[in-house]
Amino acid sequence: MFNQRIKNSCNEKHQKGLLRHTHEFSLAGNRIKDQKSTQNYINFSSNDYLGLRQSKQLKKFHHQGIEKYGFASCGSPLVTGRHDAHADLENTLCDWLGYPSAILYSSGFAANQALILTLMQNKDLLLQDRLNHASLQEAGSLCSAKMQRFKHNDYTHLSALLDKESTQKAEGRLVVSEGVFSMDGDSAELPQLSQICKAKNAWLMLDDAHACGVLGNDGGGSCSMHNIHPDILVVTFGKAFAGNGAAILCSQELAQYLIQFSKHYIYSTAISPAQAYALNKTCTLIQNAHQEREKLRRLSECLSEHLDASIPLVSTQTPIKPILVGESEQTVKISQLIAQEGFWLSAIRPPTVPINSARLRLTLNASHTEEQVQALALAINKAFDKVKGG
């Protein structure tokens, strides 16, 4: 039975042109090498927005962390896995991002699941932006509260849902949005969203995975840029921080509740103290990364300048630059042609994005040069000409 089901499901994906492939990459600078083809690409699909992954400073922080703590934590935080490095990182995040408490999790996926599954109970209502990350959507379907999804960034729709009589009866109401949406690179209208939640007595949870480090003068992300303060803020270290793990920032009371009840915290190995040490130092680096953030703005202009006007590039204020193609197979074809020119630009297909909105998700990072971006733009123009033109 299982074998049959597995085979059928994979065949179906294949027929729809949606089969996913793994690659083994080796990395150097902003280049990646596919071990199978041994071809070398400039990576335009990484979330390393500030280009820190290969920075000398980050490597030094990690070496120092390992010297000081060894590698792993070898325990959950409530047993023996929590070190002073974890506490230091939590304190730094609190000071920087303006919250009384921060709790570390081993990944953003775990943090989102932990918060929603621990907080939401069966008389509550969870309202999510339709384009929220899979970790949030999945937690929403697994939790015992009722979940409804509002149209992307459509706060008239959200308000209408919050005004419904059945909603009024809900005990707790939680609204969840991303600060910057990972596949679209657009931002939530945060002042408006924050105001609606306050007015309608709902808590706001913001997942700022793609904005922390990138937006705001101090790299503090969407909240720092828009001067808002959601009840719950999630930041992840897998993107601009070039590390692993995540943190939930919140009130002392909620933090205490999570420590008591969130299984992802209690029953999971704490992130490595060496990593916590390095991340703590990275926070300072990121707060001062003004040049990198400026560079991203320049690269963004450079990209728009050199792409043909006919390329369906979505204009964004972030380093995420989606090129909306629509049809999945065509998107893969274009991505392959661009790869032949030496650029890695992943095709993103349903179900990661809505049907008929397959896209190339181009991400800029501060270690790219203007020459590289210009050359990429020419490769994109050429690939589109070939696929769309002929």
Structure tokens at 31: 């280049």
Q: Is 106 a catalytic residue?
A: no
Contact 350, 328 (CB under 8 A): yes
- Let me know if 207 is a catalytic residue: yes
Cβ 202 vs Cβ 228: under 8 Å? no
Smallest distance from ligand PLP to CB 333, Å? 26
Q: Which one of 129, 184, 207, 231 is the catalytic residue?
A: 207
Torsion angle defined by CA atoms of residues 284, 246, 316 and 181, in that order, rounded to the nearest 10 degrees? -160
Catalytic (active site) residue 14: no
Identity of the residue, 319 or 334, whose beta carbon is nearer to ligand PLP in the bound complex = 319
Which phi and psi angles does 159 have, rounded to 5°?
A: -60, -40
Residue (44 or 384) nearer to ligand PLP, CB: 44
| Nearest distance from C-beta of residue 108 to ligand PLP, angstroms | 2
- Nearest residue to ligand PLP, scored by beta-carbon proximity: 108
C-beta of 209 vs 373, nearer to ligand PLP: 209
Beta strands in the chain (DSSP E): 25-28, 31-34, 40-43, 101-105, 125-129, 146-150, 173-178, 203-207, 232-236, 246-250, 320-326, 343-344, 347-348, 358-363
Catalytic residue among 62, 210, 295, 368: 210
Q: Radius of gyration (Cα) for the chain, nearest Å?
A: 21
Is the Cβ of residue 188 or residue 307 nearer to ligand PLP in the bound state?
188
Residues 188, 99: Cα–Cα separation, whole Å: 21
Instruction: Return the SS3 of 376.
Output: helix
Closest approach, Cβ 224 to ligand PLP, in A, equals: 17
Q: How far is the CB of 182 from ligand PLP (least distance, A)?
A: 4
DSSP assignment string, 233-269: EEEESSSTT-S--EEEEE-HHHHHHHHHH-HHHHTSP
Instruction: Considering the candidates 48, 129, 178, 186, report the single residue annotated as catalytic.
Output: 178
244 flagged as catalytic:
no
Q: In the complex, what is the shortest distance from the CB of residue 114 to ligand PLP, in angstroms, rounded to a whole number?
A: 12
Angle at 240 between CA 326 and CA 209, to 5 degrees: 65
In degrees, to the nearest 5, what angle opens at C-alpha 341 toward C-alphas 335 and 343? Answer: 60
Catalytic residue among 30, 46, 47, 106: 47
Task: Catalytic residue, from 62, 83, 226, 239: name it.
Answer: 239
347: closest CA among 365, 376, 368, 326? 326
Cβ proximity to ligand PLP, 162 vs 206, nearer residue = 206
b/e burial code for range 26-37 (CB count within 10 A of at least 16 → b): eeeebbbbeeee
Closer to ligand PLP by Cβ: residue 147 or 246: 246
**Catalytic annotation, pick one of 182, 328, 346, 367:** 182
> Is 47 a known active-site residue?
yes
The answer to whether 326 and 358 have CB atoms below 8 angstroms apart is: yes
Query: Which residue has tokens 């049809």?
Result: 327
Which stretches of the chain bind ligand PLP, using CB under 6 A?
107-109, 112, 133, 135, 178, 182, 207, 209-210, 236, 238, 246
Q: Which of 62, 83, 86, 133 is catalytic?
A: 133
In the bound state with ligand PLP, the residue whose beta carbon lies nearer, of 17 and 238, is 238
Residue 234 C-beta: closest distance to ligand PLP, Å: 7
Q: How far is the CB of 341 from ligand PLP (least distance, A)?
A: 28
Active site residues: 47, 133, 178, 182, 207, 210, 239
